[in-house]
Structure 1
Amino acid sequence: MAVYTEVTDEALAAFLADYEIGGMVAFRGIAEGVENSNYALKTTQGDFILTLYEKRVNTADLPWFLGLMEHLAASGLPCPLPVRAREGRNLNPLAGRVAAITTFLPGVWPRRVVLEHCEPLGAALAQLHLAGQDFAPRRANALGPEAWQPLLEKSLAHADDVQAGLGPELAADLARITAAWPRDLPVGHIHADLFPDNVFFLDGKISGLIDFYFAATDIYAYDIAICLNAWCFERDFSFNITKSRALLRGYMAHRWLSEAECAALPVLAQGASMRFLLTRLYDWLHTPPGALVTPKDPMDYYRRLRFHNTARDASAYGL
């Protein structure tokens, strides 16, 4: 989440007039994240999130994202429910952008991941994968392996400004990862961005899964690899195999991993590291001045990638 587009009180009042959620009581920008402009909105009828879509989000994909969220919410998953305006639309123009309102979910995301977070997270991820199986529309992953080389090329000219030799090293790693990328693993709808700040906990239980704007139809186990990267490294970038084992245990209590999926975990984890390294590198070098957002250090994922490059098999992750 972030703020790139400012919304005036007058524009917001006109926008809300098309909804049946009451009048505005409070409105503030949310500066976390890197993708869209997000605001916490309180009305006389409750709390909501207002999102204005920009940057890498293709507006043609928005009906799919919101449709998936509606489907998952109807299946009992704690994810935001898009609010429809009086005429039935859940996407409407605001401040020169396409915007949506979603319900607010209670809870707090974990600023520091502890072991007790990991098994519930794995279970929630498996439940998301299972709940999405009867959502028929599909969406290709716009930030899947086919996108990584073009993304690297956009940053190569200045990659060595971040660390000497970074550009050639990433190019070699990327060539190796894409050559080994699995093509025959189970596929379905994945979240693709289930970082701690996209998971809310309340009273020790998961109360919200948010930010579905990278969701896509892709390899289930790749979604697990993204979570291993996001949840199982300590602040010194050491990998916590106990957290990994708990995450995988939670997942496999609901959806069992095949031998092929387990065998592919190292390269999937390398690919997940590469994907976030490259998008963070691009943002680090290209974030527009004045945006109320702090770009995330791409080298955090460089360090994760170094670990995954040493993993010979799934035992590195506790399997």
Structure 2
Amino acid sequence: MAVYTKIEKSEMEEIVSRYGIGTLVEYSGITKGIMNSNYLIKTEKGKYILRILEMERDIEEEKKELKFLEYLGENSIPCPGVLMTEAGEDYIMLKGKMASLFTFLNGKEVLDVNEEIIEKFGKLLGKMHFLSENMKLDRDEKIELEYLYNSISKDENKLKDILAENYAGIMQKLENVKKCDFSKLPFGIIHNDIFPDNVFTENGEITGVIDFNDAMSAPFVHDIAIVLNFWIYNKFGVYSQNLVNSFFKGYRTVRNLKKEEIEMLPLAMDKAALTFVFLRIKKFNFHDGDAEREFKDYRDLLPMVFENKNIEFC
């Protein structure tokens, strides 16, 4: 989340009126995250989240995401509900951009990753994958390794300057990942940005999963790799075997991994690490417009890229 598109009070009042959600009390931009503009809206009737899409995608593609959220909600996955305008529309256009209003989910982002919460999350992610197995959600990917690398490598000299002494090592990792064929692995609709700050908890229970804007059809190992990298290594600086075991204990109560998925996980983890290194470089080192957002340094992820992935995926 971030704030690229500025909304004045009079404009927000008009938006609130179109949705018939009462009188605007206050609103504020949400600066965490990278991809889209997001606002927390408070009215006399409650709290809501307004998301303005900042990526160039076809509206019909984006409507598929809204339908997928509806499907997950119908199957007891705690995710944001899409609100309709009084005219019966599930999105509006703001300053030439598609915007949607979502229900507000209670809870706070996961800060304390422990064995209990990661086991519960593993079960939830396993259910999400089970529900979407073999489903298609084709869209123009924005959090995808090849797309991001192609975006930043157009200015190769600048990329070399940014990565400096890490350039050769990163390129070698990239070549290794490019040789791998993940396409034959079990697939469905993955979240694709399943970081701890996109999962909410309250009183030890998971209350919500947010930010499905990069959900797409892909092998499930890509989501799992994000969890192992960003829920475990990025939090503790080591791949804690106890946390890995707890995650898979929960995940396997709903969906069993195939042998070939387990074998490909280390390379999927390398791919996920590189993907978010390149995403941060694109957003923060290559100018991407003025925005209110939390700075994220790609260098914080380099230890993860080069870390040995010898883990027991039991």
> C-alpha distance in 2, partners of 1:15/1:110?
31
Q: Is the 8 A contact 2:137 2:216 kept in 1?
A: no
> C-alpha distance in 2, partners of 1:179/1:3?
37
> C-alpha distance in 2, partners of 1:6/1:271?
34
1:22 aligned partner? 22
Q: Is the 8 A contact 2:133 2:187 kept in 1?
A: no
Matched to 1:246, the amino acid is S
Q: Is the 8 A contact 2:192 2:216 kept in 1?
A: yes
Which range moves more in the overlay, 229-238 or 54-63?
54-63
Q: Is the 8 A contact 2:61 2:138 kept in 1?
A: no
Which range moves more in the overlay, 157-166 or 123-132?
157-166
Alpha-carbon shift at residue 50 of structure 1 (Å): 0.7
Alpha-carbon shift at residue 191 of structure 1 (Å): 0.3
Say if 1:290 and 1:184 are closer, same or farther in 2 by CA, change over 3 A.
closer
> C-alpha distance in 2, partners of 1:195/1:302?
17
SS at match of 1:305: helix
Alpha-carbon shift at residue 139 of structure 1 (Å): 4.1
* Deviations 1:38-62, CA, capped at 9 Å, x for gaps: 1111112211101111046654421
SS at match of 1:200: strand
Say if 1:149 and 1:283 are closer, same or farther in 2 by CA, change over 3 A.
closer
* Deviations 1:179-221, CA, capped at 9 Å, x for gaps: 0232211010000111011000011010000000110000012
Alpha-carbon shift at residue 25 of structure 1 (Å): 1.4
SS at match of 1:281: helix
**What is the TM-score with the length of structure 1 in the denominator?**
0.91
Query: Unmatched 5+ residue regions in structure 2?
Result: none
2:132 aligned partner? 132
> C-alpha distance in 2, partners of 1:234/1:172?
22
Identical positions, percent:
28
Alpha-carbon shift at residue 108 of structure 1 (Å): 0.6
2:186 aligned partner? 186
Matched to 1:202, the amino acid is E
Q: Is the 8 A contact 2:241 2:312 kept in 1?
A: yes
> C-alpha distance in 2, partners of 1:156/1:224?
31
SS at match of 2:19: coil
SS at match of 2:18: coil
Say if 1:4 and 1:137 are closer, same or farther in 2 by CA, change over 3 A.
closer
> C-alpha distance in 2, partners of 1:235/1:201?
17
Alpha-carbon shift at residue 298 of structure 1 (Å): 0.9
- Residue 198 in 1 paired to residue 198 in 2? yes
SS at match of 1:120: helix
Say if 1:242 and 1:126 are closer, same or farther in 2 by CA, change over 3 A.
same
Task: Give me the CA root mean square deviation.
Answer: 2.1
1:232 aligned partner? 232
